[in-house]
Amino acid sequence: TAVPTKGLTLTFDGSYVDPEYKKFVYLGLDRKDDAKFGYVSKFSTHVGVAYKFPETSFGVPAVTVDYSYKSKRVFESLSSDPIGLPNARDDLGGEARKDLSGRFALSEIPFSGKQLTLALFGENLLDEKYRVSTIDFGALGFGTSIYNRPRVLGIEAKMEF
C-alpha cells in the first residue's frame, strides 16, 4: 500500500502458492503425487486505487476501483471415482477469474444534524462467469457446480446517528 499524495491510496498485492502433500492416503494408497489442494489458486493478484477528495460543504466525495485475478483451481483433492471418472476433479475445477469493482461515494453529508452517505457501486463489472464451488458425486456419474453472482450495480444510503 502506498499513499503518494494526500487522499490517494494505491494498493497492490500478489501471491504464489504451490503446496505439496507429504502424505495423502486414499483407499489405502498414498496418492500424494496425484492430490491437489482444493480451493487454492497458484497465482493471485489485486490492484486498487482509492481517492478521497477534499471536504466540501455538501460532503466528502471518494472513488475506489479494484481489480483482482486468481488462477484456476480445483475444489477437491482427488476425483471421487478415480477409475470411472478420473478427470472429474479437473473437469469440475474453477477457471481463472478476473474481477473489477468500483464505488463512488459522497460521505459526511450534513442532514438534520446527522451524517449521511450516498454511494453508487458495481461488482463483477466485467460480468465474468466462473465456478466458486463444485461437488463431484463420483460413481453416480455427475457433479454439480455453483457459480458466482453476475454483474451487480447498486445504490447505497447510510445514515449515522
pLDDT confidence of residue 88: 75
HEC profile for 31-98?
Answer: CCCCCCCCCCCCEEEEEEEEEECCCECCEEEEEEEEEEEECCECCCCCCCCCCCCCCHHHHCCECCEE
pLDDT confidence of residue 82: 61
pTM of the model: 0.82
Task: Dig out the grid coordinates for 60 from the structure.
Answer: 466528502
Task: Give the burial class of 45: count Cβ atoms within 10 A of its Cβ; 0-12 exposed, 13-18 middle, 19 or more buried.
Answer: middle
pLDDT confidence of residue 42: 96
In tens digits, the chain (161 residues) has pLDDT values of 899 999 999 999 999 999 999 999 988 889 898 889 999 999 999 999 999 999 999 999 999 999 999 999 998 888 776 666 667 778 788 899 999 999 999 999 998 889 999 999 999 999 999 999 988 776 677 778 899 999 999 999 999 87
For 91, the 3-state DSSP assignment is helix
The residue type found at 75 is F
Q: Please, what's the largest Cα pairwise distance for the chain?
A: 71
pLDDT confidence of residue 81: 66
